[in-house]
Amino acid sequence: MDSVIASVFLPAALAVVMLGLGMSLTVDDFARTARQPRAVAVALTLQLLVLPALCFGLVVASDLPPVLAVGMMLLAASPGGTVANLFSHLFHGDVALNITLTAINSVIAVVTVPLVTNFALAYFAPDLGAGQLTLQFSKMLHVFVIVLVPVGIGMILRRSCPTFADHMDRPVRIASALVLALAVLGTTYNERAHVLGYITSVGVVALIFCLASLTLGFVVPRAMGVEHRQAVAAAFEIGAHNAALAITIAVGVLNSVPLAVPAAVYGLAMFPCTAAVGWLITRGSSRPSAVKSAPAADTSR
């Protein structure tokens, strides 16, 4: 990938998206955890502990090449984002919960992304580039600047100019989709000579990981007593990873286009998979209501 795109465009574009994300957040979104402790706790446990472990198992079982294995782990550590909020809105999830989880994950990701990525580098590729890909402190600071600073500025704008923040909601959603599309296309173009081999190597793993993330994100919260709309929100927050962030870190921070390939392949699969799971969740949710209405009719006679 061209150095200007890698070092300037991708971080700048993602910063704009994170700025817009910040403009949808308030301090109360963080405080809401006290009012929704079970949903938040279950979703965060899945996001921070279960998914990296699941991804690690998939990567080991599929025997991926080291760079692709690290790229998958980087993707697994990446939080959800505006795409998750959009799908939650389309399929009647609890968008407020999505915003809460996004707010918390945006903060935690500054720590968890480097931790998971460094672990993956040490385990899968200890000799890769003589340590060039290590997320050292200076690069961790870069992740902080890309993720947290724009979100903080966006929250300040939200507080001081709420009307402007509301008007920017739709443009930011569109910009998020465009940034993801450009990141996926850019990575694919730069690796065009190897793209078929990469898709063959990592495509099935990325697809399984996407579907497993969405499924666990819905089934586990429901099993833990989380109500339906919150479980829908959790499914999209956990299943719709921020592939653009993973690509930006891989290319703009770690200077490795191959490392971004799993996120690019995942980005191609994520939209149809997420839409299909959303349709199934919505379709399934209509049946319980019909069942519940029958006894009510009988008892009224």
Any domain includes 289: no
Any domain includes 99: yes
Any domain includes 300: no
Predicted confidence band of residue 231 (pLDDT cuts 50, 70, 90)? very high
- Per-residue pLDDT at 50: 94
3-state secondary structure of 78: coil
Amino acid type, 46: L
Integer Cα distance of 221 and 41 in angstroms? 10
Work out the angle at residue 23's Cα, subtended by the Cα atoms of residues 72 and 150, and round it to the nearest 5 degrees: 55
Any domain includes 160: yes
Any domain includes 178: yes
Work out the angle at residue 47's Cα, subtended by the Cα atoms of residues 279 and 139, and round it to the nearest 5 degrees: 125
Neighbour-count burial of 207, counting CB atoms closer than 10 A to its CB (0-12 exposed, 13-18 middle, 19+ buried):
middle
More confident residue, 76 or 242: 76
Any domain includes 291: no
Q: Range of 280's domain?
A: 3-284
Per-residue pLDDT at 69 exceeds 90: yes
The CATH number of the domain where 184 resides is what? 1.20.1530.20
Tens of pLDDT, residue by residue over 110-166, are: 888 888 988 998 899 877 544 445 555 555 566 667 667 777 888 888 888 888 878
Any domain includes 294: no
- Per-residue pLDDT at 184: 63
Which of 49, 115, 73 shows the shortest CA–CA distance to 206?
A: 73
Neighbour-count burial of 291, counting CB atoms closer than 10 A to its CB (0-12 exposed, 13-18 middle, 19+ buried):
exposed
For residues 202 and 261, the answer to whether their CB atoms sit within 8 Å is yes
How many domains does the structure of the chain reveal?
A: 1
What does the mean pLDDT of the chain come to? 77
Any domain includes 121: yes
For residues 22 and 151, the answer to whether their CB atoms sit within 8 Å is yes
For residues 83 and 177, the answer to whether their CB atoms sit within 8 Å is yes
- Per-residue pLDDT at 205: 93
Amino acid type, 87: F
Global confidence as pTM: 0.73
- Per-residue pLDDT at 72: 94
Which of 223, 205, 202 shows the shortest CA–CA distance to 213?
A: 205
Which of 34, 17, 124 shows the shortest CA–CA distance to 76?
A: 124
Tens of pLDDT, residue by residue over 75-106, are: 999 887 667 877 887 888 887 788 788 778 87
Predicted confidence band of residue 200 (pLDDT cuts 50, 70, 90)? confident
